[in-house]
Amino acid sequence: MNETNKFAVVLDHVSKSFGNRQVLCDLSLSVTPGQALCILGRSGTGKSVTLKLMIALLRPDAGQIRIAGNNIAELEGEQLSHVRRKMGFLFQSAALFDSLTLHDNLALPLHRLTNKSKPEIEEAVDRVLGQVGLASDKNKMPVELSGGMKKRAGLARALVLEPELLLVDEPSSGLDRITSSEIDDLLLEQKTREKTTMVIVTHDARGARRVGDRFAVLDEGHLLAFGTIEELDQHGNTIVRKLIAE
């Protein structure tokens, strides 16, 4: 089996700086298709930057980022768009368009990026909203949604294009424990049912343990640990054990 088939995501000696501040230093890790990698670390350690590099919102200063075998850091134009269409991104803030209804927020990428007919788009939107428990809310504006509903809506929009890879930035941010658990349930269901590969940045060790298969701990841009939850629970570094503890 070659690397293209073995790994959905590969970060190979990736570094990134902003001015004199190095955010990531020689980061290497990989994600197997159908598995969820959870990235944990204290604030400002490069977790969200890692996600943005994976979708080429940022470019690395050094190293390669391969998505399904493609070095995304070198892609431009239509080649980059083609790879991005296989990816979904759940932003920390949900990032819905305030001027569009929930239905139209989901329909927009289908209109722009697919050849689906209007009935097919309606079916896709209704199906995904049903999956996240928002079927009866499709005509609401984002301002009418609670924090938990916005997070569900953001997840629905990330899933409507049926991505092979889902990138998730702080799924529990700003949510109570019950709502956070519901979002974790949706992610776990998506991974189990659709075999969607996931990279999840989170501060929530409890949620990470539920959804994740492998775990990476970053500190000041360096990879402190990478492995299974059993391996990290027994890790010799105190920071690693504290960040992964429930």
The Cα 4–Cα 6 span in angstroms is 6
| Residue 178 to residue 79: CA distance in whole angstroms | 41
Model confidence over 57-84: pLDDT tens digits? 999 999 999 998 899 989 999 899 889 8
pLDDT (tens digit, 9 = 90+) per residue, 136-181?
A: 999 999 999 988 899 889 999 999 989 999 999 998 888 888 888 9
pLDDT, position 1: 39
The three-state secondary structure class of 144 is helix
39: helix, strand or coil: strand
**Euclidean distance between CA atoms 192 and 116, whole angstroms:** 26
Rounded distance between C-alpha atoms, residue 69 and residue 154, angstroms: 27
pLDDT-derived band at 207 (thresholds 50, 70, 90) equals very high
pTM, two decimal places: 0.90
